[in-house]
Structure 1
Amino acid sequence: MRYVSIDHVEPGQFLGKTIYSGNGTVLLGAGVQLTVYMISTLNRIGVTMLYIQDPMFEDIETDDMLSEATKQGVLQVMNNAFEAIRSGKDWNTQLIGSNVDNLLTDIMNNKELLVQLTDIRTKDNNQYIHAINVCLISSVIGINMGLNYQQLKELATGALLHDIGKTGMREEDQLVSDLKNHHTWKGFEKLKSKRELSLLIAHVALQHHERIDGFGLPRGLTGDEIHLYAKIVSAADTYERLIHPLEPKDKKLLPHEACEEMMAMSEKQLDHEVLSQFNRIVSVYPNGTAVRLSTKETGVVVRQHRGLPGRPVIRIVQGEASRFDVKELDLAQETTVFIEAVLS
Structure 2
Amino acid sequence: MKYVSIDSVEQGQFLGKTIYSGGGTPLLSAGIQLTVYMINTLNRIGVTMLYIQDKAYEDIDTDDILSDATKQAVMREMNGAFEAIRSGKEWSPKNIGVSVGRILDDVMSNKELLVQLSDIRTAENAQYVHAMNVCLISTLIGINMGMNYSQLKDLAIGALLHDVGKNGQAQASIGDEPKDVKRHHTWRGYELLKNKREFSLLTAHIALQHHERVDGRGLPRGLTGDAIHLFAKIVAVANKYDNLINTLNDKGLLPHEACEELMAMSEQELDHETLVEFTRIISVYPNGTAVRLSTKETGVVVRQHRGLPGRPVVRIVRTNDDEFEITEVDLAKQMTVFIEAVMA
Answer yes or no: same fold by TM over 0.5.
yes
1:304 pairs with 2:304: yes
Gaps in structure 2 of 5+ consecutive residues: none
Paired letter, 2:339: I
- CA spacing shift, 1:212–1:37, aligned 2, 3 Å: same
1:60 aligns with 2:60: yes
Aligned to 2:33: 33
Residues 133-152 of structure 1 aligned to structure 2 (within 5 Å): 133-152=133-152
Partner of residue 214, structure 1 = 216
Q: Does 1:243 align with 2:245?
A: yes
Residue in 1 that maps onto 2:75: 75
1:188 and 2:190 correspond:
yes
Report the 3-state secondary structure (helix = DSSP H, G, I; strand = E; otherwise coil) of the residue aligned with 2:280.
helix
Tell me: CA distance 1:323–1:273, structure 2 relative to 1, closer, same or farther (3 Å). Answer: same
Match of 1:253 in 2: 253
Instruction: Tell me which moved more, 205-214 or 239-248.
Output: 239-248
Deviations 1:260-280 (CA, angstroms, capped at 9, x unpaired)? 111111111111110000000
1:261-303 Cα distance to aligned partner (Å, 9 max, x none):
1111111111111000000000000000000001000000000
Identity %: 70
Where do residues 155-174 of structure 1 align in structure 2 (5 Å cutoff)?
Answer: 155-172=155-172
Match of 1:265 in 2: 265
Kindly indicate whether the alpha-carbon contact (under 8 Å) linking 2:206 and 2:231 is maintained by their aligned counterparts in 1: yes
Residue in 2 that maps onto 1:45: 45
TM-superposition CA deviations, 1:21-41 (whole Å, max 9, x none): 000111000000001111011
| Map of 1:19 onto structure 2 | 19
Spell out the pairing of 1:227-238 with structure 2 (5 A cutoff). 227-238=229-240
Give the letter for the 1:256 counterpart. H
Q: Is the 8 A contact 2:46 2:248 kept in 1?
A: no
Aligned residue in 1 for 2:181: 179
CA displacement 1:241-277 (0-9 Å, x = unmatched): 11117754xx211100110111111111111110000
CA shift, 1:197, in A, is 1.3
Task: Give the CA deviation at 1:196.
Answer: 1.9
Aligned CA-pair RMSD: 1.2
CA distance in 1, matches of 2:277, 2:71: 24
Matched residue type, 2:171 = E
Q: TM-score, normalised by structure 2?
A: 0.97
What runs of 5+ residues in structure 1 fail to find an aligned partner? none
Q: Aligned-pair distance for 1:192?
A: 0.8
Aligned equivalents of 2:172, 2:102: Cα separation in 1: 35
Q: Which amino acid aligns with 2:319?
A: G
Letter in 2 for 1:91: W
Q: Return the letter of the residue paired with 2:27.
A: L
- C-alpha contact (below 8 Å) 2:48/2:247 kept by paired residues: no
Aligned length: 342
